[in-house]
Amino acid sequence: MSQETDPTGLAGALLGETLRYAREREYTGWDYGDGMSSRLLQGLPVENKWLNIAVQETIKRAPVNVRRLFLVEQRRNYKGTALFAMANLTADQLDLSGGVESENGRRTTGVDYAAEARECCEWLVEHRTPGYAGFCGAHRHEIQHLDIKGLPEYPDMVSTSYAVRALLAASDAGLDAGSAAAYPEIVESVAKFIDEDLEYEEIPEGARMKYVPTWSSDHYTLNAVALGGVTLLELADRFDDPTHRERGEKLLDYVVSRQRPEGGWMYRDPPSASHLSMDNHHNGFVIESLLRHRELTGSDRYADSLDDGLAFYRDELFAPDGAPNWDESNAHPRDIHAAAQGIIVFSRAGAFEVAERILDWTVGNLYAGNGRFHFRQERFYTKRITLMRWCEAWMAYAVATYLDRRRAIDT
């Protein structure tokens, strides 16, 4: 990839193949935390937290894919569908269809990526989570935590943030023409979801909010707070509302105040509540949020934090050859989601050499061919498992982001 300057070249072909793989399966597949959707588990006459965890973690951690054996249902993921929507939209804008334009300006042959993006967006609207103060979306599987069971009707900020981003981008491209309601009108109420259901709270360091409405307020998930802040900035940019910008920046202020001296962020605040250290892809979410703030506002409000975060991310969370480290202390497992997030972050930062190194490593080590990516590289073996959201959606969005940013620079 490092020698490729044509956005419809090697990376374009990779994006097309990745989207083809997902499209042929209707964007439906297995997911990272889908063990609770095992029909074998659901058919047992008992309900036990520790049994749930045993089955869920066995399926998640097995070196091979045992989901068929456990009869795990394949479903569409809400966040994954948002990522596929944006990747298809970029593919359409890059004219990857190979079709022939007709008199009415539509493609007569090839893939109609715009239609695929619109179908994904309509699915997001149809499958938003009802019963909350504003627009929101949720994962599609039950997840057993130590303290609570996550249900498909429990929305979360991360899934919601990507749906908002996808629907606003699709509206900019005119894909909501003919829909029951314009996409911006649908997602504008996400501010109420943040305020009321996620309990937006201003504190001296800024503001904080929950990740999931049902979660405890004794800890806060920093990447979710950052994405909540950016979501409000998206609304501020769209609706020219200074209140949204003020609240969004207060959320980012709080996240920045929790930056560690090394330059990274723990998963949760307080750090004692984190089951992760300064892991790769969650740090990537925070840094991307700060980059997105700069794009939306033109402000250097977080310039110092962003510089420190990018340096830590580049030097400690990636190897020199582009391989993603798990966290600041452990190289393995080298995860496809971490690789994808690195491509996204460094493409947005304009550090294309770094993004290309990560992309080269990913294709060389986790790409199975024909648009299919593997899940993880462990120290002594590779988990040759393909997960529709964790692998395919993230890589489609990552390659699309790289191509879009290269196009902006090259033109």
Structure confidence by residue, pLDDT tens digits, 188-220: 999 999 999 999 999 999 999 999 999 888 999
What gap in Å lies between CA 117 and CA 101, rounded to an integer? 19
**Residue 110 has what pLDDT?**
85
What gap in Å lies between CA 381 and CA 383, rounded to an integer? 7
**Residue 6 has what pLDDT?**
53
Ranges of the chain with pLDDT below 70? 1-8, 98-109
**Residue 408 has what pLDDT?**
85
**Residue 259 has what pLDDT?**
98
Q: Are 264 and 223 in contact (CB under 8 A)?
A: no
**Residue 107 has what pLDDT?**
45
**Residue 178 has what pLDDT?**
87
pTM equals 0.94
**Residue 7 has what pLDDT?**
43
**Residue 217 has what pLDDT?**
86
Residue 359 DSSP code: H
Q: Quickly count: other Cβ atoms within 10 Å of residue 40's Cβ.
A: 11
**Residue 96 has what pLDDT?**
85
User: What's the residue count for the chain?
Assistant: 411
Q: Reduced to 3 states, what is the DSSP secondary structure of residue 229?
A: helix
Half-sphere exposure in the Cβ direction for 34 (13 Å, CA): 25
Q: Quickly count: other Cβ atoms within 10 Å of residue 192's Cβ.
A: 16
Q: Which residues pair with 318 in a beta bridge?
A: 324
- Amino acid letter, residue 334: R
**Residue 1 has what pLDDT?**
56
